[in-house]
Amino acid sequence: MSESSPGGPERRARELRRTLRHHSYLYYVRDQPEISDERFDELFRELRALEEAHPELVTPDSPTQRVGAEPLDAFETIEHTAPMLSLDSSADVEPLERFDERMRKALGEDVGYVVEPKLDGASIELVYESGRFSRAVTRGDGMRGEGVTANIRTIHSVPLRLRAADREVPPLLALRAEVIMRVGDFEALNARLLESDRPPFANPRNAAAGSLRQLDPRITAARPLDIYVYDILAIDGRPPSTQRATLEALREWGLPVNERCRPAADVEEILAFQAEIEEGRDDLEYEIDGIVIKLDDIAARDEVGETSHHPRWAFAFKFPPRKEVTRLLHIFPSVGRTGVVTPIAFMRPVELGGVTVSRANLHNREEVARKDIREGDRVRVQRAGDVIPQVLERIEEPDRERAKPWVMPAECPSCGTVLEPRGPYTFCPNLFACPAQLAGRIQHLGSRHALDIEGLGEETANLLVRQGVIRRVPDLFELKAAKLMELEGFAEKSATNLVEAIDKARTTELARFIYGLGIPEVGVTVARELASHFLSFEAFLEACRPAAGETLEDVDGETLQVDGEALQEVDGIGPRVAEEITAFLTRGEVWKVVKQLHSCIDPEPPPRAGDTLAGLRIVLTGGIESMSRSEAGKKLEALGAKVTSSVSKQTSYVVAGENPGRKLERAQALGVEILDEAGLLKLLSGGPEALSAPDAAPASDAAPAPGAAGDAPETDGS
């Protein structure tokens, strides 16, 4: 057939696209091709020729458009449709059993699970709008990641258009998937890289992640990537009610779903699945690092909720880490940012499940003594959690003379200060002048979740400190390009770039600044909580201030007793953490450095505009007609409310939709105010005041969910 066929080129192009899409699906997703590769290529060439002759006929989801996007200058940072959480995990059976017990306790004896292989690749969000592939975002920090749409488009098993044959396609569908590289493809890629003198990838996961982060989609297109979709992150419309139904829906939409997923009723069946998968692990074409157990009932997931790190309804049961034997060459005490001196083992490099390992953390002096590990010993190492190498034990060599037991030095290897033992750990008390600690603090301040200063990595921080360019943390903000250019490894461009990056960091988010200070116990999440509670750095410091009447000059260097009560009002901060924070900040020297840093930096409070619901804690239960529950949650959060999964006395409102669960009973028992859907819409449009205002037509900008009208509502799993 040609352009002159009935209906003309436009019709023919449409027909070709439909045919090619169908055969791509059969080939890449189902692995059941129905036509020869030659026939496929022929059709493809015909479409390409047609589109070249009539460029106006090209559509973004045409099979010819998988490659063709221009290289990017940088990736755009994009917020996820819903947070991409991590997984709670363990390689031991007990934590798995406890997970199962918790689920039974919360939901009753008839809980059901779906078990899936845990794919060891790169996690990604895929978004389809009206059935068309619209964007892909790397996991990043879980809240936002890098837009890699053009690169994902090059993966043939990713449909550019969802199949609408068997199931209605929702207006918005955000999915979670894993991008993988098959082991054989990975090896071939590494061989190619080595041949052209380029560094190979350490393992298929790195290869997949690295290939996704290419600015030029043509490079990604040449990398043999594949993908499996396993979760709905957000959907406009009614979500499937179980994980089984989710996987089925994903299949019907033409998405690649791992065929090994299956239901499991209890721990016994979970362990059977694990044993089966582990046995076949080496025959699988792709790498897996365990299995994932998920509650099957989606509504029940809302019952058990999630932490800021992981959902409580899922658990990763990891395979036991891979072990190897090698020789320990040397033990070196390394001083970290917080002054802890850690013995590090340097070993003869060894391959552990695809990664070359030569260093391992020996934790502390008691650990070294307990395992009786000495320089020169043969040792068994493993990759715990498949990432961090550990020395498990030493291996007896009866005929070999051993070195003397290793001892922690008395003085800091970096600054010579006398070290202090604290329990099994050893500290260098020279908090701010010890070069190793100073370099660690500088590096932390510039790190990705802190001020994110490009070009200020470990090596540069060490260099700046070693060369005496930085003697105290605030010196960072006095750096001059001319001075940097005197240092080895800096040219004019890199020097000005670094100074500019530091300058840019003078304005930053409050949470990043607080995190960057490296306060004990203050990670990214706590820093965020502190920032949104105190809203200004001054207010935060005020809450940590030494007791009334005392000024810091009086107590230089002394630790003051502060009760930290104001801190304990912050979500997630208890007495112990409050104590750690104040004890650290109120050390005279720390206080001074922090104040000085603050005078160089202008931290912005978290955005407040339109925060009509700030300070409110809201729980959603039951089905809502006009939007999905996750959408409602997002709208509430966008207005400053905190949406939580369990009802407590702190809960401001429980929104109870159709068929609400036990949360409604609990709210009634606790006397928490209950809203219906109309109340929710009022809250969204006018804040809490609107609830007491006389009835007006509820304003909602939510499009009605498809099929919402006649369908059974979402239930709450009880």
Separation of alpha carbons 256 and 228, rounded Å: 5
Q: Which residue is nearest to ligand IVH (CB)?
A: 123
Q: Closer to ligand IVH at the Cβ: 311 or 389?
A: 311
Q: Contact with ligand IVH (CB under 6 A): which of 86, 134, 568, 612? A: 86
Q: Does 264 bind ligand IVH (CB under 6 A)?
A: no
Q: Contact with ligand IVH (CB under 6 A): which of 78, 119, 445, 450? A: 119
Catalytic residue of the set 105, 118, 323, 634: 118
Task: Convert 2-21 into a string of H (helix), E (strand) and C (coil).
Answer: CCCCCCHHHHHHHHHHHHHH
Q: Does 229 bind ligand IVH (CB under 6 A)?
A: no
Q: Closer to ligand IVH at the Cβ: 124 or 169?
A: 124
Q: Contact with ligand IVH (CB under 6 A): which of 26, 58, 67, 87? A: 87
Window 141-180: residues binding ligand IVH (CB under 6 A): 176, 178
Tell me how far, at minimum, the Cβ of 702 lies from ligand IVH, in Å.
Answer: 25
Nearest-CA neighbor of 84 among 145, 159, 153? 145
Q: Closer to ligand IVH at the Cβ: 180 or 373?
A: 180
255 neighbors 228 (Cβ within 8 angstroms): no
Q: Does 242 bind ligand IVH (CB under 6 A)?
A: no
Tell me how far, at minimum, the Cβ of 445 lies from ligand IVH, in Å.
Answer: 27
Query: Which are the contacts of 625, defined by CB distance < 8 A and separation ≥ 6?
Result: 657, 658, 677, 704, 705, 708, 713
In this structure, what token pair is assigned to residue 641? Answer: 């409310």
Q: Does 209 bind ligand IVH (CB under 6 A)?
A: no
450 neighbors 512 (Cβ within 8 angstroms): yes
Nearest-CA neighbor of 365 among 353, 374, 352, 378? 374
Q: Closer to ligand IVH at the Cβ: 3 or 88?
A: 88
Hey, what amino acid is at 116? E
**β-strand 420-422 against 425-427: which pairing, if any?**
antiparallel
What's the burial of 581, exposed, middle or buried (CB within 10 Å: 0-12/13-18/19+)? buried
Tell me how far, at minimum, the Cβ of 676 lies from ligand IVH, in Å.
Answer: 30
Separation of alpha carbons 646 and 643, rounded Å: 9
Q: Contact with ligand IVH (CB under 6 A): which of 17, 118, 238, 512? A: 118
175 neighbors 81 (Cβ within 8 angstroms): no
Count of residues engaged in binding ligand IVH, rule: CB under 6 A: 15
Tell me how far, at minimum, the Cβ of 124 lies from ligand IVH, in Å.
Answer: 8
Q: Does 412 bind ligand IVH (CB under 6 A)?
A: no
Q: Contact with ligand IVH (CB under 6 A): which of 26, 69, 72, 85? A: 85
Tell me how far, at minimum, the Cβ of 52 lies from ligand IVH, in Å.
Answer: 39
Q: Closer to ligand IVH at the Cβ: 119 or 585?
A: 119
- List Cβ<8 Å contacts ≥24 apart for 421-426: 421/365, 424/363, 424/364, 424/365, 424/366, 424/367, 425/340, 425/341, 425/364, 426/333, 426/340, 426/341, 426/364, 426/365
Place of tokens 């020279």: 430
Q: Does 128 bind ligand IVH (CB under 6 A)?
A: no
Q: Does 292 bind ligand IVH (CB under 6 A)?
A: yes
Window 310-339: residues binding ligand IVH (CB under 6 A): 311, 314, 316
In this structure, what token pair is assigned to residue 692? Answer: 């007491």
Tell me how far, at minimum, the Cβ of 301 lies from ligand IVH, in Å.
Answer: 10
Contact region for ligand IVH (CB under 6 A) — 85-93, 194-202, 235-243, 619-627? 85-93
Contact region for ligand IVH (CB under 6 A) — 111-119, 203-211, 323-331, 654-662? 111-119
What is the separation, in whole angstroms, between the first and last Cα of the chain?
Answer: 59
152 neighbors 691 (Cβ within 8 angstroms): no
Tell me how far, at minimum, the Cβ of 78 lies from ligand IVH, in Å.
Answer: 17
Q: Closer to ligand IVH at the Cβ: 80 or 118?
A: 118
- Annotated active-site residue 371? The verdict is no
Q: Does 543 bind ligand IVH (CB under 6 A)?
A: no
Q: Does 700 bind ligand IVH (CB under 6 A)?
A: no
Tell me how far, at minimum, the Cβ of 154 lies from ligand IVH, in Å.
Answer: 20
Contact region for ligand IVH (CB under 6 A) — 83-91, 365-373, 376-384, 482-490? 83-91
Separation of alpha carbons 508 and 506, rounded Å: 6
Separation of alpha carbons 329 and 378, rounded Å: 9
DSSP for residue 708: T
Separation of alpha carbons 537 and 114, rounded Å: 46
Q: Closer to ligand IVH at the Cβ: 257 or 335?
A: 257
Find the Cα–Cα–Cα–Cα dihedral 178, 184, 185, 187, rounded to 10°.
110
Separation of alpha carbons 292 and 274, rounded Å: 9
Q: Does 301 bind ligand IVH (CB under 6 A)?
A: no
Residues designated as active site: 118
Chain residues that interact with ligand IVH, rule: CB under 6 A: 85-87, 116, 118-119, 123, 176, 178, 230-231, 292, 311, 314, 316
